[in-house]
Amino acid sequence: MIEPTTRTYDPEDDDLLPPDSHRVYAQGAPAEDSIVETRGVYRVLGGSGTLRQVILHDITLKIPRGEFVALTGASGSGKSTLLYLLGALDRPSEGEIWLDGVEISSLDDDDRAGFRNERLGFVFQFHFLLPEFSVLENVTLPMIRRGVHRDEADERGYDVLELLGLSELWKRRPGQLSGGQQQRVSIARAVANDPAIILADEPTGNLDSKNGALVFEVFGELARNQGRTIVMVTHDGNFADRTDRQIKLRDGHVIEDVRQR
């Protein structure tokens, strides 16, 4: 039997209703070493009745600083939805999300956007590089937008490109790079902001195996050598097995959470 990827709301089914206990928290801020903490997080879509869908159920996770986490699960299991919540791009319907000591689920839209720009780095399946700008400019523009002086942004941008083996390509346009190189530029852009947490949604999904492996290695090095905290959604079991920890979703539930190192 093929299991449905989401369930529609059934008033008889208690499991789909956030229990009251999830609405009250007296725990306060997480311990220092826990950079990501979710407490009883639900994401519910579509008002009431049969249109109501519970996309994420009672997600409670602690991710320590410097951990490289793979988020896995079948298509439609809720990986991107959870990543968007962790990236402050969306708000939970219930529960708390703490990122680097800040309860982001209670921030208003402006403050959440500010937090996102200052503290988080995103890498998506498609790199969203600006075709009219050079590699270096693509990396420095977000910094300049945040108020970093151009010279300093150039210096930091160049250093990060060097770290990712791209410094010789700094003048090129994205269209003059391979897919793997483009994706590494988008990682450079995310890292240059010195984010507390890097969130990646299938960063290797659009790459051939050689470039995928290269990009995966870059994430591994960022975690090991720079102590970056990384949450990466991936469909590639090989990569997922080689991270520090694998969190597997099914139908919006965490069904496995395994430390691998």
Ligand X SMILES: Nc1ncnc2c1ncn2[C@@H]1O[C@H](COP(=O)(O)OP(=O)(O)OP(=O)(O)O)[C@@H](O)[C@H]1O
**Which residues would be at the binding site for ligand X (CB under 6 A)?**
5-6, 45, 55, 73, 75-81
| Beta-strand pair 102-103/120-123 | unpaired
Closer to ligand X by CB, 51 or 130: give it. Answer: 51
CB of 5 to ligand X, least distance (A): 5
CB of 201 to Mg ion, least distance (A): 6
Interaction partner, residue 93 (ligand X, Mg ion, none; CB < 5-8 Å by kind): none
Closer to ligand X by CB, 56 or 169: give it. Answer: 56
Q: Provide the 8-state DSSP code for 5.
A: S
Closer to Mg ion by CB, 81 or 243: give it. Answer: 81
Closer to ligand X by CB, 36 or 55: give it. Answer: 55
- Between CA 80 and CA 117 the distance in angstroms is 19
Chain mean position to CA 156:
22
Closer to ligand X by CB, 4 or 131: give it. Answer: 4
CB of 96 to ligand X, least distance (A): 20
Site pattern 25..64 for Mg ion (x: CB under 5 A): ----------------------------------------
Taking residue 109's Cβ as centre, other Cβ atoms within 10 Å add up to 9
Closer to ligand X by CB, 50 or 176: give it. Answer: 50
- Between CA 70 and CA 55 the distance in angstroms is 19
Structure tokens at 257: 């959470």
* Largest Cα span, the chain: 62
Interaction partner, residue 55 (Mg ion, ligand X, none; CB < 5-8 Å by kind): ligand X
Task: Confirm or reject binding of residue 243 to Mg ion (CB under 5 A).
Answer: no
CB of 81 to ligand X, least distance (A): 3
Q: Which of 74, 5, 88 is nearest to 41 (CA)?
A: 88
CB of 101 to ligand X, least distance (A): 26
Closer to ligand X by CB, 79 or 116: give it. Answer: 79
Residues of this chain, 71-110, that bind Mg ion according to CB under 5 A: 80
Taking residue 108's Cβ as centre, other Cβ atoms within 10 Å add up to 8
Q: For residues 256 and 246, is the Cβ–Cβ distance under 8 A? A: yes
| Beta-strand pair 68-72/245-250 | parallel
- Between CA 228 and CA 223 the distance in angstroms is 5
- Between CA 238 and CA 155 the distance in angstroms is 35
CB of 45 to ligand X, least distance (A): 5
- Between CA 80 and CA 109 the distance in angstroms is 20
CB of 4 to ligand X, least distance (A): 9
Q: For residues 229 and 36, is the Cβ–Cβ distance under 8 A? A: yes
Interaction partner, residue 77 (Mg ion, ligand X, none; CB < 5-8 Å by kind): ligand X
Q: Given the rule CB under 5 A, which residues bind Mg ion?
A: 80
